Structure 1
Amino acid sequence: MADGTRSRVRRRRLAAGRNRLGALPDDVLHHTLTYLSVTEAASAAALSSSWRYLWRSYPLVLEDKGIPAPARDALVPRVLADHPGRFRSVILYDCRLASLNRELPGWPRLLVDKSTQQLLLAHHDWTVIQPDSARLLPADILRCGSLQVLSLDFWTFSADLSRRADISLPQLQILTLTRIVVSDRDLECLIAACPVLESLRLTLNSPKHVRLRSKSLRCALVGLSKVEEFAVVDTPLLQRLYLFQQINGGAVRIACVPNLRVLGYLDTRTHKLQIGDSVIRPDTMASARTVVPSVEILALALNLGISEEVKILASFLRCFPNVETLHIESAPHKPPVTSSEPSGEHHARFYQEVSQVDCLRAHAKKMVIHDFRGDQNEFEFIKFIAKNAEELQFFLVIVSDEGILSSADKVKEIKDELQYVQFRTGISAVLRELPKAGIPYRLKRAADLAINDPFQC
């Protein structure tokens, strides 16, 4: 019986009053199945012949999070082997490589043959020490030409990816690599082999030198790594570069980024900023070779009580003359700073003598200070901004430190002192008490280009 005839017969029977849910159109029921775990969907298929038909005809959506651990070893391979249609999404947070290889030896090739669109492969317990050979990424994963979204966590790349025949990812748009052992060159080759890649996230990976070259990339998130050099070499469409929780900081080199609009967090202590061939130092002045005019939203992290950091802050700001929204994360560094100690001064003299910074004087319309603690150094910075920012329309101070939030007296003290700050443009500082958002939430916002300002709480 043809699919259309079978569907019409089923609807006539259901219209007689047997099952109103089943009388819905197939595409609606198909969509409903995607919200069920694989065990729930399988149970629905076992109880109803009509749902069984839908289960087998619809592209597979498999997520192992809803499968009880004891049954996972056997059920995941069986679902992959038994489903006759295409695979839309395969999400394995607990990818048990040994059981997959044993129960379904050809599972990587099956993902290719079934035109998988979204794939996530992660090891559940990545804290257990394993030899690299126990987590070698099957070569076929990088030959799945139908993939649009690929997330890999705790794998080792074994192939020489410099040979393009080893990679075929012509439709890949989103790539996430976490705790991956891969050489500097192979990572560069992998990115280059994704001609329509739009979003890239790199977290805790092995390369010490990362160079981004991509004609299609629009968003890059890089963090929690020991990268010694991160270079944006040739990314003409890149709009957003989000740096988070860098372990050792390292060099950040920005070259060809004509459309870069959002950048942060640059850390004044640990990041060595380089624009083109020019290394930015405390005495660096703005020139055609040291500016990135496209950046409109900038986020910086610094300790306002450290003289060296305040000085490099001014140099960083000179590199981005057209910034309209500036975020400052004000918090003592962790681990504590050891290379330089607070000067004990409040830097008022430095703020008075510092050369004019174009983005602060003539462009900045909105400023946000995160993790405000009420230190005198922070208030000196606010006074400097209030005196020099000619276009400022909104100034927000966010108190998110738990110690301050728990002290109503301290919060009131900050509010009272902010009232005495007089801004050149006639505005007043706004104080908000907000808990600091977690990293997963912040990264989700950063990856969403529909969100104009990913640093805004």
Structure 2
Amino acid sequence: MGTIAGDEWTRRLEDEEDEELVDRISGLPDAVLGDIVTLLPTRDGAHTQVLSSRWRHVWRSAPLNFDSNADSPRTIRGNVRDSEISSALSAHQGPGRRFRHEFPYVDTGTRSAAKLDCWLRYPALDNLQELVFHYGIRIPRGWSSLPPPPPLPESVRRFSPTLRVASFGGCAFPEVNAASAPLHLPVLKQLSLTHAKISEKSLLALLAGCPVLQSLLLSYNSGCSRVRIASRTLTSIGVNPGRGDSRLQHLILEDAPCLERLLVFSSGTRKIMDISVISAPKLDILGPLSDDFSRVEFGSTVFQGPLVSIVTVVPSVKILALVNGHPSMDVVIGFLQCFPCLEKLYIKTKLVGYENGWRDEYHNNLVSTLDIRVKKVVLLNYRGDKSHVKFAKLFVLNARVLESMVLELVEGIVPSTEWIERQHKRLHTKNKASTSAQFDFVGHDVRSRLFGNVNEAPAHVGYVNEAQAHDLSTADPFVRFRDWPC
């Protein structure tokens, strides 16, 4: 019996080993294998052909997902040779799903434009759904300024029926006239224009040719000092006005009935740009607005520096981010009056040693007339001095439904238990207007990592960039506001 049992146990082990050796993946239908290969970087997908004869035809017939940057993990762009791109596109027999390529720099002629136009005409990219390219912005040797940008490839028009995501970088859009019809992208949902040259007329025509567009990013473009947005479908707009005389100087939301978020990104210098909101009834996420802005208008309400003229209220805005040199009571009260339904407020200060000069009696009387409905307040670069304490007390003593107030400390201040206790006394948190309000002091060390109230371990903080403009899944884009480029 013992021998029989032993033989049975051996057979079971052998069966289990044989089971583990079975290639179940290769038994999947071609359509499923094609989807798997498509998710791989281009080179890895091509290498699946050596696995077995079953896989040899899969890569060539699977939807092509070409990303030269993903294939080049090193930081230097342009590691994929042009000949490799041509070979991959010529060898592929399946439809195209995604094509992304960024040239290392602007050349002195039109060679990059010719290469890209040639690649985009390959049959492998038929029915392309996502197109991302950038001609580059580095100034070539011997040039004192950038040469004129190459034109938008004419071959882009062939993807009109299928293109859903597009990012055009470093190119020039033709003027709309009888000889040049505007680009029509009937199924496009996401559009980015970066370092592009485009006139206001051409941009209006482009947006009109995108009837289902959901998100738009405009960054460092030229040729258009004023942008008027009239779109019945846009839900998110991201803007980086750029620098110098070529920057975007005036953004006008003329007719945007579905717009929910307007995100403004820094160009590294002053962001002098006017914003006019004429009609955006669903706008609920806004910012960061800075005191570097010349003028911000919401209907008849005008913000210009510390001066506020309140006529129109905007009940739709629920989340607001501000960047100020110092925490200004005048500015914040103005926004609270304009946005009476505000629920989350983020404020980042930049200047050190400023003493607010407001009159307590005047502001106390004004605040007493406000119904502050803010539920969460985040004050970044908090120093705990007289000026910041006075500002923070506005919410401690008057926000009746406040749930959370986070005070992220300026670098160099370590929130010890004793320091936190003194701050609670100075802020009069025992007399808080909201009985459920929680107050958290968060330190920020020199390595740009956050750590919690007293003894929590440092936590990684991801860098936030302009991709936020297209991330509609994020309910609150300012969660990591410290890392915003502003």
What TM-score, normalized by structure 2, do the two folds share?
0.77
C-alpha change, 1:448 and 1:67, in structure 2 (3 Å) is: closer
1:63-212 alignment runs, 5 A limit: 63-67=67-71, 69=78, 72-94=81-103, 98=111, 101=114, 106-110=118-122, 114-124=126-136, 126-128=138-140, 130-132=146-148, 135-142=150-157, 144-145=159-160, 146-160=162-176, 165-206=181-222, 207-212=224-229
Q: Which has the higher helix share?
A: 1
Task: Return the match for 1:425 from 429, 434, 444.
Answer: 434
Q: Mean alpha-carbon deviation: is it higher for 93-102 or for 238-247?
A: 93-102
| Contact 2:190/2:215, CA 8 A, preserved across alignment | yes
Query: Separation in 2 of the partners of 1:279 and 1:242?
Result: 19
Query: Separation in 1 of the partners of 2:178 and 2:254?
Result: 18
Query: Separation in 1 of the partners of 2:185 and 2:100?
Result: 18
Gap runs ≥5 in structure 1:
1-14, 334-340
C-alpha change, 1:452 and 1:312, in structure 2 (3 Å) is: same
Cα deviation for residue 386 of structure 1 reads: 1.6
The letter of the residue matching 1:189 is A
**Structure 1 counterpart of 2:35:** 31
Matched residue SS, 1:314: helix
Q: Mean alpha-carbon deviation: is it higher for 228-237 or for 241-250?
A: 241-250
Deviation string for 1:107-152 (max 9, x for gaps)?
Answer: 334479701100110235534454225x222133255211100012
The letter of the residue matching 1:295 is V
The letter of the residue matching 1:413 is W
Cα deviation for residue 48 of structure 1 reads: 3.3
Deviation string for 1:275-317 (max 9, x for gaps)?
Answer: 2255335564543xx2211111111111236xxx542332233
Task: Return the match for 1:304 from 294, 306, 326.
Answer: 326
Task: Return the match for 1:379 from 367, 375, 389.
Answer: 389
Query: Separation in 1 of the partners of 2:31 and 2:417?
Result: 54
Q: Mean alpha-carbon deviation: is it higher for 252-261 or for 140-149?
A: 140-149
Matched residue SS, 1:304: coil
C-alpha change, 1:397 and 1:416, in structure 2 (3 Å) is: same
Deviation string for 1:401-429 (max 9, x for gaps)?
Answer: 4x32xx43789635631354222223342
The letter of the residue matching 2:239 is V
Matched residue SS, 2:81: helix
**Structure 2 counterpart of 1:11:** none
- Say whether residues 1:450 and 2:461 are aligned partners: no
Matched residue SS, 1:280: strand
Cα deviation for residue 155 of structure 1 reads: 1.7
**Structure 2 counterpart of 1:323:** 342
Cα deviation for residue 256 of structure 1 reads: 0.7
Cα deviation for residue 445 of structure 1 reads: 4.5
C-alpha change, 1:412 and 1:446, in structure 2 (3 Å) is: farther
Query: Separation in 2 of the partners of 1:37 and 1:49?
Result: 21
Please report the RMSD computed on the Cα atoms of aligned residues, expressed in angstroms: 3.3
Cα deviation for residue 170 of structure 1 reads: 0.4
Query: Separation in 2 of the partners of 1:254 and 1:417?
Result: 39
C-alpha change, 1:100 and 1:448, in structure 2 (3 Å) is: closer
C-alpha change, 1:271 and 1:408, in structure 2 (3 Å) is: same
Matched residue SS, 1:157: coil
Deviation string for 1:188-219 (max 9, x for gaps)?
Answer: 22122110000111111112111111110001
| Contact 2:117/2:154, CA 8 A, preserved across alignment | no
**Structure 2 counterpart of 1:347:** 358
- Say whether residues 1:49 and 2:48 are aligned partners: no
Cα deviation for residue 380 of structure 1 reads: 0.9
Deviation string for 1:250-282 (max 9, x for gaps)?
Answer: 211011111111111111342411122553355
The letter of the residue matching 1:233 is E
- Say whether residues 1:370 and 2:380 are aligned partners: yes
Cα deviation for residue 82 of structure 1 reads: 2.9
C-alpha change, 1:331 and 1:100, in structure 2 (3 Å) is: closer
Cα deviation for residue 345 of structure 1 reads: 4.4
Gap runs ≥5 in structure 2:
1-18, 73-77, 450-459, 481-486
The letter of the residue matching 2:258 is L
Matched residue SS, 1:313: helix
Query: Separation in 2 of the partners of 1:324 and 1:351?
Result: 25
C-alpha change, 1:73 and 1:203, in structure 2 (3 Å) is: same
C-alpha change, 1:142 and 1:323, in structure 2 (3 Å) is: farther
Query: Separation in 1 of the partners of 2:29 and 2:124?
Result: 30
**Structure 1 counterpart of 2:457:** none
Query: Separation in 1 of the partners of 2:253 and 2:462?
Result: 23
The letter of the residue matching 1:183 is S
Query: Separation in 1 of the partners of 2:174 and 2:204?
Result: 15
Query: Separation in 2 of the partners of 1:272 and 1:384?
Result: 25
Task: Return the match for 1:313 from 332, 350, 354.
Answer: 332
Deviation string for 1:57-82 (max 9, x for gaps)?
Answer: 21111111255656521011222233
**Structure 1 counterpart of 2:4:** none
- Say whether residues 1:250 and 2:254 are aligned partners: no
Matched residue SS, 2:378: strand
Query: Separation in 1 of the partners of 2:461 and 2:217?
Result: 17
C-alpha change, 1:16 and 1:318, in structure 2 (3 Å) is: closer
Query: Separation in 1 of the partners of 2:343 and 2:474?
Result: 16
C-alpha change, 1:233 and 1:357, in structure 2 (3 Å) is: farther
What TM-score, normalized by structure 1, do the two folds share?
0.82
How many residues align structurally? 424
C-alpha change, 1:329 and 1:70, in structure 2 (3 Å) is: closer
Cα deviation for residue 220 of structure 1 reads: 0.6
Identity of aligned residues (%): 27
Matched residue SS, 1:245: coil
Query: Separation in 2 of the partners of 1:190 and 1:357?
Result: 49
The letter of the residue matching 1:241 is L
